[in-house]
Amino acid sequence: MSLTTPPIAAKKPHVETHHGIDVSDDYAWLRDPGYPVVTNPEVLAHLNAENVWFEQRMAPQKRQIDALFTEMRGRIKEADSSVPQKDGNFRYWIEFEQGAEYKKWWRQPIEGGPDQLILDEVALAAGLDYFRLGALAVSPSGRFMAYSTDQDGSERYTIRFRDLSGTLADWGGSEVPGTIGGGVWGADESAVLYSLCDENWRHRTILLHRIGSDPASDVTIYHEPDEGFSCAVVLGAQERWIIIQTGDHDSSEVRLIPAADPLAAPILVKARQPGIEYEVDLHGETLFIHTNDTHENFRLATAPLANPGAWTTLIEGSDEFYLTGFDLFRDFYVIDGRVRGLDRIEVRYYDDPARIEPIEFPEASFSAGLGENSEWAMETLRLSYESMVSPASVIDYDVAAQTFETLKVQEIPSGYDAALYTTQRLEIAARDGTLIPVSLVERKDRKPGGPLHLYGYGAYGIAIDPGFSTTRLSLVDRGFVYAIAHIRGGDDLGRAWYKAGKLEQRCNTFTDFVDVAKGLIELGLTQAGRISISGGSAGGELMGAVINSDPDLWGAVAAHVPFVDVLATMLDPNLPLTPGEWPEWGNPIEDKAAFDLIRSYSPYDQVSAQAYPPLLVTAGLNDPRVTYWEPAKWVARLRELKTDQNELLFKTNMGAGHGGKSGRFEGLKETAEEFAFILWQLGLKP
């Protein structure tokens, strides 16, 4: 199949009326009515034609793509392993073999003995176009293991079980399909609790599965009646309690079950309240509660297990310190947070609330956090650390001595000299005067005014950390500044930062991104038309909004699995995520003001007859988060209305989902395609 012109989707009139307003959608037919199974021949033919057009237009860039892929792969230590971590009677670690796409999971008895391969992802993925491990959980004694896998990107995981004391073969017939991925063992190791996906990919039910039994006989432990709430199950730090967490983007509720009696009636900690979020863990008979009930930046409270709703403040909420979480250990606890957008970790003590020991890090801008700390009686904490110029490090922190030991620094086989690069954190004023943080990395020998790549997300209260990336170097070494705009909608600067980019204030996210770009131009770092931008999912929505509002700023745009059909998605309560998303975006079904606002910025609804920058769009056919037809419809409308001759390429991964292709090198190939597209469109030499 060869094409001489871009695929043009058929227009099939379709009109829906909401709040007395007709909404026309000529490309609604691209949604297969049988989704999540896509079999409609016309839909598949159109997606395949777009893929053919993508391959044809990118074919002249193959040499560049191959060169980029080779250099990106050259920065990965192919034969690599993690630092072993003790958990119970074993040390656990993972290994990549030379050339392998997937990991192998190993352990060794503490008392000595041969290494034991407990899971071989390479073997499990053999012959599959897609493979992803969801979770792996070893039972308390270390004898049994539950693990989950996804083989098509739909994020519907099948849990399987192994007796690690035997042949390591999966138990025949003992598998649980259609789960969200994780599982928690009961104390007697006879059963696992898990969260089940329904037909709409909503996970509102926690069940108990007896190992070796038919999943049809699994016992419902909890079912969430609210369509907008999701359920998850985790194990408390002391492993005495199983914690059922339910919530949406605005409210939450927690129940406790004794691990020794998982069929016991769950204990409700505190009934849900609109706008109140909380999470809990236990130290002995005391609950620790992380909640935003008195301050939007959260406080830490305690309560007796006998009266779990009686919360007493342990750490007050603060405008300066954003308390993002906590971890409990036998002799101390750790709190995580951010101050002015930078990570902060503190060790605190149960018997001396005034004793506070911050863990200090050397750089002015960095990303740091707790690594894998599996045991209750930890004396040395495993930490992770990186910055935009410092490769990822694994560090042990001796709590009593307050000393560091670096166990591993990410190796870059093809070479990396941090002295060649510089990073900084700027603040650029948005149009309303708010200062937006921007993290930058560039080579010290870069000439001013050259190309710049700007990345953004800005949704769901997700902060974008200023971490290290080996793939990013392929742009930076070609003269780019790489910038991260910490725009409102994320929680980089606290909960108020998140709230200032959601619901009625959603458009701040888009204008912040535009204003950062203009500010970088004013600083002489780049020029209009020499900026490439990228974002995925809600960050893809950002891409769609800013090319509608300020198309002349951008020289190339990559929008991955973009959430661009916001209005239609929020109007459809039958889609997987919609009810749970209303607290984030608004409910346009019931609220005309929300309808009007979403329609005013929804990228698909705001496509107009104007010139657009060069655009690369991706989708996953099996994506349950951003359904494939959103980018497909968007591209179709752009092809219809745009007045320019710039490239518009659309690629659908026909056997993958939200995260693109699986495997550590297959994903690199897609990044190489994106960077080759950017270099091509900006007219830069390889």
Per-residue pLDDT averaged across 644-651, rounded? 98
> What is the C-alpha separation between 325 and 639, in angstroms, rounded?
45
Q: Is the peptide bond before 576 cis (omega within 30 degrees of 0)?
A: no
Q: Which two tokens stand for residue 612?
A: 């657009």
pLDDT at 411: 97
And the tokens for 579?
């009810």
Of 379-388, 409-418, 655-664, minimum mean pLDDT range: 655-664
Is pLDDT at 188 greater than 70 in this prediction? yes
Average pLDDT (19-36) is 96
Mean pLDDT of the chain: 95
Using alpha carbons only, what angle is made at residue 293 by residues 290 and 295, rounded to the nearest 5 degrees?
90
Q: 197: how many CB neighbours lie within 10 A of its CB?
A: 22
Give the pLDDT score at 362. Answer: 84
Check if the beta carbon of residue 359 is closer than 8 Å to that of residue 395: no
Question: What is the pLDDT at residue 657?
Answer: 78
Q: Give the tens place of pLDDT for each residue, 321-333.
A: 999 999 999 999 9
Please state the rounded mean pLDDT for residues 506-518: 98
Summarize pLDDT for 399-425 with one digit per residue, the tens: 999 999 999 999 999 999 999 999 999
Cβ neighbours around 587 below 10 Å, total: 18
Q: ∠ CA 459-510-551 to the nearest 5 degrees?
A: 135
Longest dimension (CA), the chain: 74
| DSSP line for 98-167 | TT-SS-EEEEEETT----EEEEEHHHHHTT-S--EEEEEEE-TTSSEEEEEEESSSS--EEEEEEETTTT
Domain assignments of the chain as residue spans, ordered by start: 15-73+415-681, 78-124, 128-268
Is the separation of the CB atoms in 486 and 465 below 8 Å? no
Closest by CA to 149, choosing from 183, 184, 174, 124, is 124
Do the domains at 15-73+415-681 and 128-268 have one common CATH topology?
no
As a whole number of angstroms, the distance between CA 393 and CA 364 comes to: 16
Q: What is the pLDDT of residue 169?
A: 67
Q: Which residues are catalytic?
A: 537, 623, 658
Residue 245: the pLDDT is 97
Residue 63, pLDDT > 70, answer yes
Q: Mean pLDDT throughout 649-669?
A: 88
**What pLDDT is attached to residue 662?**
85
Least confident of 413-417, 451-455, 502-506, 580-584: 580-584
Q: How many CA atoms lie within 13 A of 152 on its CB side?
A: 12
Evaluate if residue 168 carries a pLDDT over 70. no
- pLDDT at position 563 is 97
- Indicate if the pLDDT at residue 150 is higher than 90: yes
- What gap in Å lies between CA 541 and CA 384, rounded to an integer? 31
CB 301, CB 311: distance < 8 Å: yes
**Can you tell me the mean pLDDT for 149-161?**
92
Distances from the Cα of 520 to the Cα of 150, 175, 253, 492, 553, angstroms? 42, 54, 43, 20, 11
Q: Is 686's pLDDT higher than 70?
A: no
Helix, strand, or coil (residue 511)? helix
Say what the pLDDT of residue 239 is: 95
Most confident range (mean pLDDT) of 13-27, 213-227, 646-660 is 13-27
pLDDT of 66: 97
Q: Convert the pLDDT of each residue in 11-22 to its tens digit.
A: 999 999 999 999
CATH number of the domain at 128-268, out of 3.90.1170.50, 3.30.230.10, 2.130.10.120, 3.40.50.2300? 2.130.10.120
CATH fold, domain 15-73+415-681, is: Rossmann fold (3.40.50)
pLDDT of 365 reads: 85
Pair of tokens at residue 229: 């709430």
pLDDT in tens, 445-484: 999 999 999 999 999 999 999 999 999 999 999 999 999 9
Rounded to an integer, the average pLDDT of 275-283 is 97
Residue 102 has what pLDDT? Answer: 95
275: alpha, beta or left? (left if phi > 0; alpha if psi -120 to 50):
left
Nearest Cα to 614, choosing from 669, 684, 662? 684
pLDDT at 503 over 70: yes
